[in-house]
Amino acid sequence: MNRDIRIEEAYKAWIWAFIFAFIYVYAIPWTELWGKEFEDTANYLFRIKYLQEGGTEAHYTGLKWILDEPLWRYIILALGFSFDDYRLSIYLISFLALLFSGSFFFRRVEFYVVMLLLLNPMSVNLYIEQVRIALAFSLVLFAYDLSSKAWASFFLLLAFLIHASMPIFLGLYYILHYFNKNVEARKYYLIAIFTALGMALFMKFGANAILSAAGDRHAGYGDVAGSSSLAYSMAWFIIAIILSVFADFRTDKERILIAYAIVFMSFFFFSSILGIYAQRYVAVIMPIIIIAIGHLPRHIKQATYLFMFAYNLFMFKYWLQLSVL
């Protein structure tokens, strides 16, 4: 592609991302629609206030310092110093997460498809409530499009220091990158599904032991949070199967992203069977899922988008507790 065209497309993507992020965060009263405070938002607000009033937290060294996500602590401190209204500071993180994610998203899909991201309860919970992992993964997406390996590595490091789960997302990408060179298309997607099963089994029986040995505070989180219902996760597994059978690609990068979406949607389904909380992983990579669907044949793509749209509206019936739907 001509360099000038790439620059123009990137410029347009950033403009659309800015508009979308502003509307999503500042124009839609999500808390009022939800009817109560988001739990993680309340925790962030409390932590900012606590640190600003002289509160102290444990300090670690070595591996525990890295796993304690130190950059996020410094961000929390900076937000407290910079804003009188701490809620606005959390909104700024939501805005930045959507801006960076949008710069990736809008280069690859038509604007109307953005409604799938907007009208999605999981996306709302991610970008409005679970802002730490949203910001971290948005930096991963931003790094993906950088041509400089040095700058890409820098932003990946920032993402890891904000949220310790980022090596999972990065490691999976490089595993799929390896298999991409050695496996033909349909077997490749089958490997993606079995990789998801292996991940779910590891999260169920192995991850807690490793995290506990490392002294990580996330040990046992998947069991404490509780899993999603099979009916909820089944819809995403169906989309994963559709992608496995019908998705087409023109480049290796597209093939890997399709497999990436398949893995996490399948992982959500298998985790539900095993009683593990994994809904958040699907929420995090939602832009990639929507982009992957765009690689389906036209009529199947439109039907799948319509299915997602209807399914999201159905979920909002319960998320917003509205009877009008």
* pLDDT per residue as tens digits for the range 210-245: 555 445 555 555 454 455 678 788 999 999 999 999
The terminus-to-terminus CA distance of the chain in angstroms comes to: 45
Mean pLDDT of 256-278: 93
Contact 160, 73 (CB under 8 A): no
CA dist., res. 145 & res. 305, Å (int): 25
Which of 1-10, 118-127, 256-265, 284-293 has the least mean pLDDT? 1-10
For 129, other C-beta atoms within 10 Å of its C-beta total: 22
The position carrying tokens 């500071």 is 89
CA dist., res. 204 & res. 209, Å (int): 10
Nearest CA to 121 out of 19, 16, 228 is that of 228
Mean pLDDT of 107-135: 87
Give per-residue pLDDT as tens, 72-107. 999 999 999 998 899 999 999 999 999 999 999 999
Per-residue pLDDT band at 32 (split at 50, 70, 90) = confident
Q: Which two tokens stand for residue 324?
A: 């009008």
| Range 140-146 contact pairs with CB under 8 angstroms and sequence separation of 24 or more | 140/166, 140/169, 140/170, 141/100, 141/101, 141/103, 141/104, 141/105, 141/287, 142/100, 142/103, 142/104, 144/104, 145/10, 145/103, 145/104, 145/107
Q: DSSP letters of 106-155?
A: TTTS-GGGHHHHHS-HHHHIIIII-HHHHHHHHHHHHHHT-S-HHHHHHH
pLDDT at 5: 63
Distances (CA, A) of 232 to 133, 228, 229, 312: 22, 7, 5, 11
Is the alpha carbon torsion for 189, 177, 290, 91 positive or negative?
Answer: positive
pLDDT at 224: 47
Rg (Cα) of the chain, in Å, rounded?
Answer: 20
The position carrying tokens 């998947």 is 222
For 158, other C-beta atoms within 10 Å of its C-beta total: 17
Contacts of 111 (CB under 8 A, 6+ apart): 16
Per-residue pLDDT band at 289 (split at 50, 70, 90) = very high
Mean pLDDT of 8-14: 87
